[in-house]
Amino acid sequence: MKDRINIKESSNAQVYPCVPTRELVVFPNMVMHFDVGRPGSVKAMKNALQGEGYVFLVAQKDVNVERPEKSDVYKIGTVAKVKQIIKTPNGVYRCLVEGVQKARLAELIDNDACYEAEVRNIPNYGRENLSENEITALFRELKEVFADYARVLPRMPQELYTQVMGASDAKSLFEAIAFNIVLPFEDKQRLLEIPSSGEKTAFLLSVLSREIDVLTLEAQIHEQVHAAIEQNQRDFYIREQIKALQNELGENGFGDEAGDMDEIQNYVDRIHRLGAGDEVENKLLSEVKRLSRMASGSQEAVVIRGYLDTCISLPWNVYSKDQTNIKKAQQILDKDHYGMKRVKERILENLAVRSLTPDIKGQIICLVGPPGVGKTSIGKSIAKALNRKYVRVSLGGVKDESDIRGHRKTYVGAMPGRIINAVKQAGTKNPVILLDEIDKMSNDFRGDPSSAMLEVLDSEQNFSFRDHYIELPFDLSDVLFVTTANTLETIQPPLLDRMEVIELSSYTREEKFNIAKKHLIPKQLAKNGLKASQMRITNDGIYALIDGYTREAGVRKLERAIGSLCRKAAKEIVEDGAAKVVFKDGNIEEYLGHRKYLPDLVSKENQVGCVNGLAWTSVGGVIMPLEVLVLDGKGKIELTGSLGDVMKESAKIAVSLVRSIAEKYKIRSDFYEKNDLHIHAPEGAVPKDGPSAGVTMTTALVSALSGIPVRSDVAMTGEITLRGKVLPIGGLREKTMAAYKAGVKTVIVPKENMGDLDEVDDTVKLGLEFVFAEKIQDVLDAALVKKTDPEDIPYEIVKQPVRKASKAAVQK
């Protein structure tokens, strides 16, 4: 052969460009085309064409490996002569090669651009291990087996059949078959590795016999499927003739004469019992009529049956009787949940209105608050209090409009939307449906589910809600929808406008204590198989859990901490035989480790330029000390402590206000020119912002500039104007709880927040003195330490009335 490598087979190694092939095996003397797409393989083929023209082709063991190593390819491959490389329009290179010499891979060299292979040539056909008669017998048997293979293989090329049958020896017969028929590449690799032509023939004989069995089985399966299809078509044709005869006889599918009339009559009876109105009844009866004229096993009949079953199972005229006893409903709500006064009042108002006007429609409540405050669990309590069925629908992550409205029933796998499914699950027309996480809905190319929810939650539209699957108007006006959300910012304004928003703020320390004692501890005891006599958490232990191991708006972490104590108690009871385990403030650290949260920083002594401010956070109120230092300078104001834009503006207002009252407190009038002021809020890594630190900054500046100390037992909150008016703030309930917990005795709040005391816990009212400030003068009079010597008083004292809630007032 003219392209035979002109090197004797020996242990001498040669280096060629290498292409690892996927599911492709090239034999010596074989001419074939194949495509190359990987950059390294393209580079190797180009290098071979530009060089001596030889490339080493070796098959990969795993076709999914992108950068194969030596262990990922077979040891035996073929050195081939590159005849031609053509780039196709889609960027793939079509290569024409001719196998030249079988070779063994010694080393695979991985360059950045391409592969190279160090190979040693081995004979294409080695020494024969079979006798001449054995080879002749295999030669004849292979021809007969190939003739059988040609009979079972569809579209066998006549040229290939002639070439195989005309082969005169085992080598030419092997090459004619192996080069041209489709076999798994593992089998072809095995044929390449086998040394002698006789052994190759024997292995190829076994492979062809296996392929004949597979092809025969495939033909049998094909014939069975074809026969079944013909039988179904024949049955369908006969059924259609029977129906045509029934129509001629007046048997329209609703009589007992038809073959499947029992099923049809059952559907008709169920539809008449629904009492769903003429429109619904006529639509469903028309679908039953269509079903009666179809083959029972057809795909369309299956779709109609599913549609009828779904529609009939809906509660078109089924109602549950509402609870009318308000006192009993209040007992249920109080038993299940502690606090939540506004939510409970709203539900009881709903009961009272229903007792007067049973036909009231369109009530959608939206509970908004941080995670863990009981928004989801309150829905079940509402249903229990109203004596209604309860269904929860999670909307988190919903971004397909079909999840709300359903799919068209013409699609395969169509189903109704979540709202209709919830009504179907409830089994009544007036359930309580909790739409959980309504603020987590999003939209994409499949539609906007928030827009679909508008029809569901709009009392002017939902009396005739049409699901895409049902295609019938369904009245949702009797459903009490309760939605939950963590924030209102991500809810679309048109959707938010249709809901009555009730905000659930974070729990106070006292509320967490009562929730833990009345609900969480009994729940975790039962969950961990403990009795109340086996484990006890004292009151100071509960407070220690709340203050030292949890800092959250809700009670989820508190419940997990209680569950951890229950598990540790169970271990002591089982392992050490303890009769009872008691957790208290003194030993909780032994079980849960050191305390994760430290108490708020509150000064124990009166200090100059240091004021206790009050701040609201998502996990409750905190004490926020504010410090001011006066330095010699040129009037520069330094603000540190991660203060936001609002607090920076409050600082500027405070400086201007102090300049206006400087003379009253014997402060140098030119302090803003000759002194630098440094205002700092500790815990600088925590961002702080909000319109409630104005009075705190002003008091700290007056104290630092005048040298008058600030009372350490006073905390304050409020914003100011340039003229010294104290503006109202929010979060009074949480802020006062923080002051009470920190041991503060007096709290200064804006006078306009006096009405918000109704929301403050009774324990806090009894433990604190409240000073209601209308102007900054009221704040300074109450916060700054008063001199006992009249001559030392640097300013005029205006007596400020201090209000302390009496026990009778609290009870009232």
Any idea what the CATH number is for the domain that residue 541 is in?
1.10.8.60
Q: Is residue 193 part of a domain?
A: no
Q: Does 496 share its domain with 514?
A: no
The ranges of the chain with pLDDT < 70 are 1-11, 246, 249-261, 362, 444-447, 600-601, 618-620, 684-686, 787-812
Q: Does 519 share its domain with 495?
A: no
Q: Does 300 share its domain with 273?
A: yes
Q: Which of the listed residues 60, 94, 121 is the one where a domain comes to its end?
A: 121
Active-site positions read 692, 735
Q: What does the pLDDT look like over 295-315, one tens digit per residue?
A: 777 778 888 888 888 898 889
Any idea what the CATH number is for the domain that residue 393 is in?
3.40.50.300
Name the residue among 755, 750, 744 with its Cα closest to residue 778: 750
Name the residue among 50, 45, 58 with its Cα closest to residue 17: 45
Q: Does 286 share its domain with 330?
A: no
Q: Is residue 151 part of a domain?
A: no
Q: Does 475 share its domain with 536?
A: no
What is residue 362's predicted lDDT score, i.e. its pLDDT?
A: 62
Q: Does 498 share its domain with 513?
A: no
Q: Does 458 share its domain with 555?
A: no
Structure tokens at 520: 């969480």
Q: Is residue 207 part of a domain?
A: no
Contact 784, 666 (CB under 8 A): no
Q: Is residue 129 part of a domain?
A: no
DSSP codes of every residue in 165-190: HT--SHHHHHHHHHTTS---HHHHHH
- Expressed as residue numbers, the domain containing 456 is 326-503
Q: Does 479 share its domain with 338?
A: yes
Q: Which of the listed residues 478, 503, 528 is the one where a domain comes to its end?
A: 503
Q: What does the pLDDT look like over 321-353, one tens digit per residue?
A: 887 788 888 888 888 888 788 788 888 887 788
Q: Which of the listed residues 592, 627, 656 is the one where a domain comes to its end?
A: 592
pTM more than 0.75: no
Q: Which amino acid is at 195?
A: P
Helix axes 185-193, 170-178, angle to 10 degrees: 160
Q: How far apart are CA 283 and CA 308, in angstroms?
A: 10
Q: Does 556 share its domain with 409?
A: no
Q: How far apart are CA 397 and CA 666, in angstroms?
A: 62
For residue 233, count CB atoms less than 10 angstroms from its CB and return exposed for 0-12, middle for 13-18, buried for 19 or more. exposed
Q: Is residue 660 part of a domain?
A: yes
- Tally of structural domains, the chain: 5
What is residue 583's predicted lDDT score, i.e. its pLDDT?
A: 92
Q: Is 118 helix (H, G, I), strand (E, B) or coil?
A: strand
Query: In angstroms, how far is the first alpha carbon of the chain from the final one?
Result: 114
Q: How far apart are CA 685 and CA 668, in angstroms?
A: 34
Q: Is residue 420 part of a domain?
A: yes
Q: Does 358 share its domain with 434?
A: yes
Say which residue the tokens 């901490």 belong to.
561
Q: Is residue 716 part of a domain?
A: yes
Structure tokens at 729: 């703030």
What is residue 261's predicted lDDT score, i.e. its pLDDT?
A: 63
Q: Is residue 163 part of a domain?
A: no
Any idea what the CATH number is for the domain that residue 49 is in?
2.30.130.40
Q: Is 421 helix (H, G, I), strand (E, B) or coil?
A: helix
